[in-house]
Structures are given as structure tokens and as C-alpha cells.
Amino acid sequence: MKICWFNNDLLGVVEQDRVYDVSVALQALPAPSYPNRSGDLVMAHLDLLRDAIQQALPTAESYAVDSVQFLSPVANPGKIIGVPVNYQKHVEEAAADLATFTQRETGSVLEQGFFLKAASSLIGCSQTINISMPERLTHHEIELGLVIGKTAKNVTEEEAFSYVAGYAIALDMTVRGAEDRSLRKSLDTYSVLGPWLVTADEIANPQQLDLRLQVNGQDRQVANTAEMIVYIAEQIAWASKFYTLEPGDIIMTGTCEGVGPVVAGDVIRAEIEAIGTMEVRVLNEV
């Protein structure tokens, strides 16, 4: 199932080229109460919601996919976990250009571990990436985005996939420079997730997916998730040693070679096999 949030916070399901408004299914969720310690309510209760969505679909109003505004498919992530330098050719391109990447980004994920991006940086693909510091270099990074569906702590690689709700295309937008990653990758609009969440049951092998990112129609990043240094199951297990993973938490699983600059006016087209394609516009913040 492809699940999205669209327009004015409507819950949608995407089938072929239509988006069905299944917002009525939200009534199946337990009433939100304060304090909410269960993470993102939709991701925490996806099974419950799927049944309600199936019931709602036959009478749901639908819209053409290209006529709606896609928001982030996760409304309330507690945290966004980043996996740095997780493709060997990206390790090499970073090491070869210390003027751009700085010493801080050399070496692979095995030396560097994880980092966190602010949840407030997250947008959907129909929103625009707003560059607030045009005098600095902003780079695109396409990544397979993974969303946690069940609370996970100290889980093993073997059981890791049972904690995944689904997958989406992620952009880990980055200001290059000397500051900590948690600053340079957490600017408003610098985390993009979309266009929708494909539930885990629909992706047979997330470790074997083609990725492609174009800027203004030109290829920049082309790779396959098979080229990761630390595989997805290992990422989940490893991350769960440090952080309790909660429903709605997002792991951006690392980017491949070919990262490069974007400026106002650019259009990023990002595609991941078995998920789909999204286009995101870049503007200067006004």
C-alpha cells in the first residue's frame, strides 16, 4: 500500500495514477491523548489503519496524482537518523575534495556512526527546498528513507526488518562546511520525504533498489542500494543500541556518489525503484 498525506492534511492512498482520500479511516486510530509517548500515531497503528483504509476505498473521492500537493508521508517523526558516507564511491569523492567536504566527512560510516537531523527540517516533495544561506554551498543527497513502525531497542539484524513500516525517497539536503552535521543538515526544508510511504510488504528486497537523482534533467547520482557499506538490517540493529527507535522515526540510509550543488530555480527529480519518482523545486528563502 502507498500511503501519503496530501493537500490540507488529508490521508491518501495511491493506486496507479490516482490518490484516494481515505481520511475517514483515521477514525480507527485510538484518540490522541497527552502526553503521547507512542511516536507517530499513524505509523504506530498501521495495521489497524490498513483495515479501515480498505473499507474506505470503495467510496473514496480520488484525484490525479499530478494534481495534489504531497506533504511528508510521516507527519510526526520523533527523530531523523542520518547514516553518513555509506557508499564506497561517496567515501572516495569526499576524501578527494577536502575543500568541499572537510576532514570531518572523511572515512566511512564505520568510523563515523550516525547523526541526527531536526524533525522540524522535514517537508514533503510538493513543498519547496528553501535555501536560507545562498552564499553557502547546498548539496543534494538522495537516500533510501526507512520508517520505523514498532518500538525497537537492542534488536538483532535478523529481526530488524520486522520493525520497518515502509520506505520512501529521502533527500538529505546539506550545507557544506565546518560546522556539525546536526546544524548543516537540519535547516528548515533540508529533509525531504516522499512522495508517499510504500509499506514494507510491497518491497521484497530494499537492499536491491536502483536510485537516480537528476537536477534540471541531468543525471547527478545513479546507484543501487546493494552498494551500501552498512546494510539496512545492520543499520537498524546498530542504531537501536544507541537510540530507542519509535514508530515514525526515519532512517536516511546514506547517499551514493555524485552529490553536488543546487541553487534557486533548480528542480530535483529523485527516483527509487519500487517506490516512485518525486520532483522538488529549490528556491531562495524569502
172 part of the interface to Mn ion, by CB under 5 A: yes
- In the bound state with Mn ion, the residue whose beta carbon lies nearer, of 22 and 170, is 170
Q: Closest separation between CB of residue 182 and Mn ion, Å? A: 13
Question: Taking the chain, what is the end-to-end CA distance rounded to the nearest angstrom?
Answer: 37
What distance separates the 2 farthest-apart alpha carbons in the chain?
A: 57
Helix (H, G, I), strand (E, B) or coil at 285: coil
Using the contact rule CB under 5 A, the part of the chain among 188-196, 235-243, 248-256, 268-276 near Mn ion is 248-256
**Of the ranges 19-27, 53-61, 166-174, 186-194, which one interacts with Mn ion (CB under 5 A)?**
166-174
Nearest distance, CB of residue 180 and Mn ion, angstroms: 14
CB of 252 to Mn ion, least distance (A): 6
Quick one: which segment of 39-47, 57-65, 140-148, 261-269 binds Mn ion (CB under 5 A)?
140-148
CA-closest candidate to residue 167, choices 140, 134, 207, 136: 207
Closest CB to Mn ion among residues 112, 207 = 112
Is residue 224 helix, strand or coil?
Answer: strand
> How many H helices and E strands in the chain?
7, 19
For 253, other C-beta atoms within 10 Å of its C-beta total: 27
Residue number with the smallest Cβ distance to Mn ion: 172
* Window of 17-25, 48-56, 254-262, 278-286 that interacts with Mn ion by CB under 5 A: 254-262
Nearer to Mn ion, 11 or 236 (CB): 236
What is the nearest approach in angstroms of Mn ion to the Cβ of residue 60?
36
Q: Which residues pair with 61 in a beta bridge?
A: none
- The yes or no reply on residue 255 touching Mn ion (CB under 5 A) is yes
CA distance 264 to 146: 28
Looking at beta carbons only, is 22 or 85 nearer to Mn ion?
Answer: 85
Residues 177-196 that bind Mn ion (CB under 5 A): none
Nearer to Mn ion, 261 or 265 (CB): 261
Residue 49 and residue 118: Cα distance in Å, rounded? 27
Is residue 141 at the binding interface for Mn ion, with CB under 5 A as the rule? yes
What grid cell was written down for 229?
557499506
Binding piece for Mn ion, criterion CB under 5 A, among 100-108, 121-129, 165-173, 270-278: 165-173
Encode 118-176 in three state secondary structure: CHHHEECCCCCEEECCCCCCEEECEEEEEEECCCECCCCCCCHHHHEEEEEEEEECEEC
**Binding footprint of Mn ion on the chain (CB under 5 A):** 141, 172, 255
